[in-house]
Amino acid sequence: MGHNIDAGKILLSLYCKFSNLKNRLHISPIHKTNLQKMKGGVVAVIAIFAIFSLVVQPGQAVTCGQVDAALVPCISYLTGHDTSPSPPCCAGVKAVKGMAQTTADKRACCGCVKAAANRYADLKDAAAQSLPTKCGVQMDVPISRSVDCDK
């Protein structure tokens, strides 16, 4: 996993250099808009990379920290601030599916998702239930406050 951390540092360094360069140059409004779009793309790539670097390695137990980190990009959709899940959110949903391979892992992920859902009073149940479908993922782990994770 050490190589993942080094790549993340490189991506973060590139992002910072890009931001500093933009601040030092006189840029026309048209080019500024294009740079802002590129900046958003760089942020999305960094987020997706970070999510996939958290995917559980074979033989390791799933932790709530991993599940929470994967689903953080979904909060704005799940609380009704966005009308659809973002690409980093869907990457996180796919990462959680990848973590939940065994029955024990599925139960652990379920408990983590349930605990996370209960931390957000303004979580929209309909958005939570539709999230996997909107991301094109068949989930074995429901996103719900009231699910029985032992079934």
* Distance from C-alpha of 44 to C-alpha of 82, rounded to nearest angstrom: 16
Domain count, the chain: 2
Over residues 126-143, mean pLDDT: 90
Q: State both tokens at 149.
A: 């994770």
Least confident of 4-13, 45-54, 97-106, 109-118: 4-13
Range of the domain at 27: 1-53
Assess whether 49 and 98 both reside in one domain.
Answer: no
Share of the chain above pLDDT 70, in %: 60
Residues 129 and 151 in one domain: yes
Q: Residue 141's pLDDT is what?
A: 79
Q: Are residues 141 and 87 located together in one domain of the fold?
A: yes
144 and 81, same domain (yes or no): yes
φ, ψ of residue 82 in degrees (nearest 5): -120, 150
Count of residues in the chain? 151
Q: What is the DSSP letter of 73?
A: G
Instruction: Based on the fold, state whether residues 79 and 108 are members of the same structural domain.
Output: yes
Same domain, 30 and 80: no
Q: Which of 31, 53, 75 is where one domain is finished?
A: 53
Tell the residue number behind the tokens 């209960």, with chain if given: 118
> Does residue 145 share a domain with residue 92?
yes
The answer to whether the beta carbons of residues 77 and 71 sit under 8 Å apart is: no
Q: Looking at the structure, do residues 130 and 64 belong to the same domain, yes or no?
A: yes
Contact 88, 125 (CB under 8 A): no
Asked whether 73 and 88 are in contact (CB, 8 A), the reply is yes
